[in-house]
Amino acid sequence: MNAVEFEKIIPGGFFLDDSYIYDDLFFLPKKTIIKDYHVEVLKNWGIEKLFSNGDYYATGVPKYKEEIKELDTLFENNDNAITLENENDDSLPLSPDTIKNDTVSRNDSYKEVYKRWILATVSFFNSVITTKDVNKQHVINLLNDIESFVKRDKDSVLLLVGQNLEGLSRVYRQTLDTVILGLIMSHSLQLSEFAKTNLVLGTFFHDIGMLKIPKSILEKQGVLTPEEIKVIQSHTIIGFNLIRDVRYSAIIASGALQHHERIDGTGYPEKKSAEQITNIGKIVAVLDAYSAAISTKSFRSPVHAKEAVQDLLKLGGAAYDTVILKEFVKNISIYPIGSLILLSNNSPAKVIGNSGVAMRPIVAALIDGKEETIDLSKRIDIYIKGVYVKK
């Protein structure tokens, strides 16, 4: 089939034959005029190409008008706006004034906020490493700001997790990803304010030691030597010491020290048993493993979120605490938000919400040319047939 880049797909264009996503996932019937909302859904779904056996024309031709199927209700935008309250924090003015409630605008705005969170994180980490000091209130302000977005629109914030945003270091991206996941876990576990603060601070600083590991080792394409593996593993101890140097508690620093420990005693750096690992260490271990799996690295492509969750479940009870793992999967789902899937009725769909049932999320499906929101936890007649990943 012919492939047409997303940049060439414009309103008014059309294909002479049926068009598909990823070669075999049906999108639009032949000769259907492409409209604004079609382009928006392609952008929102992260589609880079459309495929078709027919040629693509960037401008509609009148003689096909009587054959065109109008899909005016497909992916209509909600024009309501969400008004965001000011955070009253002059030190970290991270919140935008407003975010529109259509998916594309909302996600674009959140990405800009995410980048500003990254810049604040870079500043704090540099301060810890270079001056052995950090403004703790400013750190709390940042974490409170992230939490406010999670509370407002958890599903949209989750879409940012695992995004390979250009120009952003993997360490900082994974830091924010695990913080977002840690906040969601703290709410789900109904932690006290004190316990939540400790968990989120432990999550925020858990990988800071990686910044002291030589890039030549972190970005090495080949197999690491035993000596290089030991250097990388030392980031847990380095991180613990950095956090203690700026006078955070040992329980907060345990997130850095113990996030690679495993409850069966096979982890590092100290091969601790389940009883010797703090709850923060156990929680951050799950969050870090998931975030690392779905992140792009110099030596491998990211694992799809579904596979990452399945790998965690395979190790549940051996490597990870089963209670924590169950709570994590309940909030993330086997098919995380943003996943592009195929339903049992052969309709393409995108996961847009979490129903609380791991295998049955809430999806937006294209059925008979129209968008339909389906809570799969309430529909026993439809199930997820497969997941689509970019080729």
Lowest mean pLDDT segment, chosen from 12-26, 68-82, 243-257: 68-82
Please report, rounded to a whole number, the percentage of residues in the chain having pLDDT higher than 70.
81
Q: Per-residue pLDDT averaged across 197-210, rounded?
A: 97
Which residue from 328, 290, 292, 329 is spatially nearest to 186, judged by alpha carbons?
328
Lowest mean pLDDT segment, chosen from 29-38, 49-58, 324-333: 29-38
pLDDT score, position 228: 95
Model pTM above 0.75: no
Most confident segment among 241-245, 296-300, 382-386: 241-245
Q: May I ask the CATH architecture of the domain 2-67? A: Alpha-Beta Complex (3.90)
Which residue from 279, 297, 96 is spatially nearest to 202, judged by alpha carbons?
279
In the chain, what are the domain boundaries? 2-67, 81-332, 340-388
Residue 384 has pLDDT above 50, yes or no: yes
pLDDT band at 302 (very low <50, low <70, confident <90, very high): low
For tokens 């294909």, the residue is 15
CATH topology of domain 81-332: Hypothetical protein af1432 (1.10.3210)
pLDDT score, position 18: 82
pLDDT score, position 225: 94
Residue 187 has pLDDT above 80, yes or no: yes
Most confident segment among 31-40, 219-228, 263-272, 342-351: 263-272
Which residue from 41, 25, 45, 20 is spatially nearest to 338, judged by alpha carbons?
45
Retrieve residue 312's tokens. 């965690």
In terms of pLDDT, which residue wins out, 362 or 96?
Answer: 362
Residue 299 has pLDDT above 70, yes or no: no
Residue 78 has pLDDT above 60, yes or no: no
Cα 15 to Cα 32: distance, rounded to the nearest angstrom:
7
pLDDT band at 300 (very low <50, low <70, confident <90, very high): low
Residue 68 has pLDDT above 70, yes or no: no
pLDDT band at 227 (very low <50, low <70, confident <90, very high): very high
pLDDT score, position 369: 67
**Summary mean pLDDT of the chain:** 80
Residue 89 has pLDDT above 50, yes or no: no
Residue 96 has pLDDT above 70, yes or no: no
pLDDT band at 339 (very low <50, low <70, confident <90, very high): confident
Encode pLDDT of 128-183 as tens digits.
Answer: 999 999 999 999 999 999 999 999 988 888 888 887 666 667 889 999 999 999 99
Which amino acid, one-letter code, is at 6? F
pLDDT score, position 157: 87
pLDDT score, position 109: 76
Retrieve residue 87's tokens. 């955070």
Lowest mean pLDDT segment, chosen from 18-32, 101-115, 145-159: 101-115
